[in-house]
């Protein structure tokens, strides 16, 4: 275990603090926007964008969110003790997963909308991406996360566990990653026991399995897109999005 941490409480406190400091938007902030929807004209404007324009529009915004997840990862006790390559390997596959976990905090299950460009958007706004199955899967996942009614503390520990995942391919020092993963798992079970919600644990592992298939769908769509629009993907996407996902 990382020597600096005397006990699990301290581990949980540092992950919760990091989650709060890197959450880009506070839930209360966006609660006020939940019923701010796009007008028919605004929806039509998004739907008349070309495929590559809309992909670029979304990639820029999602890269914003990914940057905050990179910051979050750096403050997970033990993450920075891993080799650079292992840190990149974990972020390559885990950062979009954490973005999608966090995205569920900005999802309105009553009108099936998600925060996007300052308002809350329904799936029809993303029609010009030409990947309705990805959007449906993103919305379904957000619904599933909201149904668990996780606290911010639980989301923080769950996000850390999603990120520190030893199943990632090409890890150099799997056993070191395993030690960090075990301490985060201890933290999550500690939080759930304290909240008297241990039954959530297996539901969270099911959510992780759904998340993995959702993110491989995202990668598949991105590969499809990059082949069809190589110029946009290689020169107009944010470097971090390319580095992590392309
Ligand atoms: C961490 O949680 C959040 C939640 C919301 C937002 C952010 N962070 C960052 C700031 N942001 C802004 C500025 O709009 C929001 C955003 O990006 N929303 C948004 C973007 C794309 C969407 O679907 C398309 C799509 C989804 C998955 C994978 C690829 C995709 O397209 C290629 C849906 C919503």
Ligand 1 atom nearest residue 115's Cα: 5
Of 161, 156, 62, the residue nearest 105 (C-alpha): 156
Half-sphere exposure in the Cβ direction for 231 (13 Å, CA): 3
Cβ of 103 below 6 Å from ligand 1:
yes
**What's the pLDDT at 27?**
87
**What's the pLDDT at 3?**
47
Ligand 1 atom nearest residue 114's Cα: 34
E strand segments, the chain: 107-108, 113-116, 119-121
Query: Which residue puts its alpha carbon closest to atom 28 of ligand 1?
Result: 218
Cβ of 126 below 6 Å from ligand 1:
yes
How much of the chain is in helix, strand and coil states, percent to nearest 5? 70, 5, 25
Cβ of 117 below 6 Å from ligand 1:
yes
Cβ of 116 below 6 Å from ligand 1:
yes
DSSP code, position 106 = G
CA distance 64 to 89: 19
- Which residues are CB-neighbours of 10 under 8 A, at least 6 positions away? none
Of 153, 2, 22, the residue nearest 78 (C-alpha): 2
Cβ of 139 below 6 Å from ligand 1:
no
CA distance 151 to 240: 29
Answer yes or no: are the C-beta atoms of 181 and 62 closer than 8 Å. no
**What percentage of residues in the chain have a pLDDT greater than 90?**
83
CA distance 16 to 56: 32
Cβ of 106 below 6 Å from ligand 1:
yes
Cβ of 92 below 6 Å from ligand 1:
no
- Sheet with 113-116, strands from edge to edge, namely 107-108, 113-116, 119-121
Which ipTM score applies to this complex? 0.98
Cβ of 64 below 6 Å from ligand 1:
yes
Q: How far is CA 193 from CA 21, 49, 141, 201, 204, in A?
A: 25, 48, 25, 10, 14
In our burial notation (b when 16+ CB lie closer than 10 A, e otherwise), range 4-36 reads ebeebeebbebbbebbeebbeeeeeebeebbee
Give the pLDDT of the chain (246 residues) as one tens digit per residue: 454 556 899 999 999 999 999 999 988 888 889 999 999 999 999 999 999 999 999 999 999 999 999 999 999 999 999 999 999 999 998 999 999 999 999 999 999 999 999 999 999 999 999 999 999 999 999 999 999 999 999 999 999 999 999 887 789 999 999 999 999 999 999 999 999 999 999 999 999 999 999 999 999 999 999 899 988 888 888 888 878 877
Residue 107 φ then ψ, to 5°: -125, 135
What SS3 state is found at 196?
A: coil
Q: What distance in angstroms lies between residue 129's CA and the mean position of ligand 1's atoms?
A: 13
In 22-81, alpha helices (H): 27-31, 40-47, 51-74
* Probe target for ligand 1 pocket from 23, 49, 65, 229, with the most ligand atoms within 8 Å of CB: 65
What SS3 state is found at 36?
A: coil
Q: How many CB atoms lie within 10 A of CB 243?
A: 14
- In tens, the pLDDT along 145-186 reads 999 999 999 999 999 999 999 887 789 999 999 999 999 999
């Amino acid at each position: 275990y990382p020597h600096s941490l005397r006990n699990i409480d301290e581990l949980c406190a540092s992950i919760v603090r990091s989650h709060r400091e890197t959450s880009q938007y506070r839930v209360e902030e966006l609660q006020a926007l939940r019923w701010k929807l796009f007008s028919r004209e605004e929806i039509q404007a998004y739907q008349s964008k070309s495929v590559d324009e809309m992909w670029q529009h979304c990639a820029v915004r999602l890269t914003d969110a990914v940057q905050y997840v990179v910051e979050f990862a750096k403050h997970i006790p033990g993450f920075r003790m891993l080799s650079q390559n292992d840190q990149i390997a974990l972020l390559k596959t885990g950062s979009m997963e954490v973005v999608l976990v966090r995205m569920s905090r900005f999802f309105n299950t009553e009108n099936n909308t998600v925060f996007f460009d300052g308002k809350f958007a329904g799936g029809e706004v993303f029609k010009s991406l030409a990947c309705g199955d990805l959007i449906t899967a993103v919305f379904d996942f957000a619904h599933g996360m909201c149904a668990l009614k996780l606290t911010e503390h639980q989301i923080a520990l769950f996000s850390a566990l999603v990120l520190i995942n030893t199943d990632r391919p090409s890890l150099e020092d799997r056993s070191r990653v395993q030690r960090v993963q075990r301490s985060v798992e201890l933290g999550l079970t500690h939080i759930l026991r304290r909240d008297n919600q241990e039954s959530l644990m297996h539901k969270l592992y099911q959510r992780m399995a759904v998340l993995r298939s959702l993110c491989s769908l995202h990668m598949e769509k991105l590969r499809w897109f990059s082949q069809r629009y190589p110029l946009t993907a290689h020169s107009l996407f944010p470097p971090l999005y390319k580095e992590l996902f392309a």
